[in-house]
Amino acid sequence: DAGVIQSPRHEVTEMGQEVTLRCKPISGHDYLFWYRQTMMRGLELLIYFNNNVPIDDSGMPEDRFSAKMPNASFSTLKIQPSEPRDSAVYFCASSIGTGVMSGNQPQHFGDGTRLSIL
Amino acid sequence: AQSVAQPEDQVNVAEGNPLTVKCTYSVSGNPYLFWYVQYPNRGLQFLLKYITGDNLVKGSYGFEAEFNKSQTSFHLKKPSALVSDSALYFCAVRKGYGGATNKLIFGTGTLLAVQP
């Protein structure tokens, strides 16, 4: 059973460039989460979707960040323009969360995209 | 507001000794509690969860955790540590049944170092 797949695994780019991170959730999962991990700030939730609809984007740092989920099997996180302080590991996670027991299922994480902005 | 605290940045233990990684939480109502482990250059992996029922929860790789409602704690334990258990461990909480959001609140993580 394939897990959450993220691409690319590593991205190095120059300040000001557009960066697009990609995620394929586990088939059948209806929740998708984007996280950012840094040494200074730990693990931060950026945004999450339910059935392809953004539910909470309060963690998105600023307007340079945007996320989309055009269908149940694909999501993107875009940074435009990128800045050195965006350097971090970005994780995508998915979970099943339907019905009255919503929320008692674990989130399954991808292996992340290590982003370096020079 | 929901929160979770992992009071130790690092825990050191000798191989073969028991280990405990501490977690305390704050949430209104009944909590759903989770432990995850992260190995270098990997995503977080689910270890175990407490939803309801027995306070002692058993999970992957021989780990277990004890839910203590009066102390609002959910400490992770293992009777005999292995060098391969060395990793970063995260506790997470969300409001239980009836909670309006599916967001998990993660702790800051505890680095477990098992010496041979």
pLDDT tens-place string over residues B33-68? 999 999 999 999 999 999 888 899 999 999 999 999
pLDDT band at B31 (very low <50, low <70, confident <90, very high): confident
Instruction: Tell me what pLDDT residue B71 has.
Output: 95
The two three-digit tokens of residue B83, written as one number: 């060098």
The two three-digit tokens of residue A93, written as one number: 């996670």
The two three-digit tokens of residue A73, written as one number: 């099997």
Percent of chain A with pLDDT over 70: 94
Percent of chain B with pLDDT over 70: 94
pLDDT at B100 over 60: no
8 A C-beta contact, residue B7 and residue B109: no
8 A C-beta contact, residue A80 and residue A12: no
What residues of A are in contact with residue B95 (Cβ under 8 Å)? 103
pLDDT at B3 over 80: yes
B3 interface with A at CB cutoff 8 Å: no
Q: Integer distance in angstroms from the first to the last C-alpha of chain B?
A: 41
- Tens digits of per-residue pLDDT, B5-24? 999 999 999 999 999 999 99
Q: Which of residues 25-64 of A touch B (CB under 8 A)?
A: 31, 42-43, 45, 48, 50, 55-56
Phi, psi at A57, each rounded to 5°? -115, 25
Region A90-113: what's the mean pLDDT? 84
- Residues pairing with A47 in the sheet: A34
Instruction: Tell me what pLDDT residue A51 has.
Output: 92
pLDDT at A99 over 70: no
Distance from C-alpha of B85 to C-alpha of B106, rounded to nearest angstrom: 20
3-state secondary structure of B84: helix
What sign results for the dihedral spanned by CA atoms A107, A34, B84, B93?
negative
Number of other CB atoms surrounding residue B26 within 10 Å: 13
A42 contacts B103? CB cut-off 8 A: no
Arithmetic mean of pLDDT over chain A:
92
pLDDT band at B101 (very low <50, low <70, confident <90, very high): low
Nearest by CB to residue B101, choosing from A56, A107, A114, is A56
B9 interface with A at CB cutoff 8 Å: no
Instruction: Tell me what pLDDT residue A72 has.
Output: 95
Torsion-angle region of A52 (φ positive above 0: left; ψ -120 to 50: alpha; else: beta): left
Q: Integer distance in angstroms from the first to the last C-alpha of chain A?
A: 37
- Tens digits of per-residue pLDDT, A42-93? 999 999 999 999 999 999 988 999 999 999 999 999 999 999 999 999 999 9
- Tens digits of per-residue pLDDT, B70-98? 999 999 999 999 999 999 999 999 876 65
Instruction: Tell me what pLDDT residue A1 has.
Output: 64
pLDDT band at A102 (very low <50, low <70, confident <90, very high): low
